A = this chain, B = another copy of it.
Amino acid sequence: MIRSDIIRGHLDSIILRLILEKDQYGYEISKQISLKTKDRFQIKEATLYAVFQRLEKKELIESYFGNISHGGKRKYYTITTFGKAYLKETVKEWQETKEIIDLFMEGLD
């Protein structure tokens, strides 16, 4: 399990990326992350909803309630045009981050 400090700051991008595929609600995204990473990373509930709030405030996503449910009422999130542009930027930034950290981390063995 990856420490959250290590992944910190990338959560916004990860969530945006998943919502880009299709509109999704929180619980669904949480499960998807666990599945996709084979439990090597799990997002905590409180963290996930904090991300949503932050992204919505920045107008990178928008939300609406779904009509079908399986328990609690599902709140769906959709990415905005602005959110798409932002995501593109963060993907570039991730490439650069990798390069920079690798400058220090490579050639150790």
Which A residues lie at the B interface, using CB under 8 A? 2-3, 5-10, 13-14, 17-18, 36-37, 40-41, 87-88, 91, 93-94, 96-98, 100-101, 103-105, 108
Contact = CB atoms under 8 A, between A and B. Distances in A.
B37 A103 contact: yes
Give the interface centre of A6, A14, A94 by most chain B CB atoms within 10 Å. Answer: A6
Contacts of A103: 36-37
Given A100-B37, A104-B17, A105-B94, A3 B9 contact: yes
28 contacts: A2-B96, A2-B97, A2-B100, A3-B9, A3-B93, A5-B8, A5-B9, A6-B9, A6-B94, A6-B97, A7-B9, A7-B100, A7-B101, A8-B8, A8-B9, A10-B101, A13-B105, A14-B101, A14-B105, A18-B104, A37-B100, A37-B103, A87-B108, A88-B108, A91-B105, A91-B108, A94-B101, A98-B98
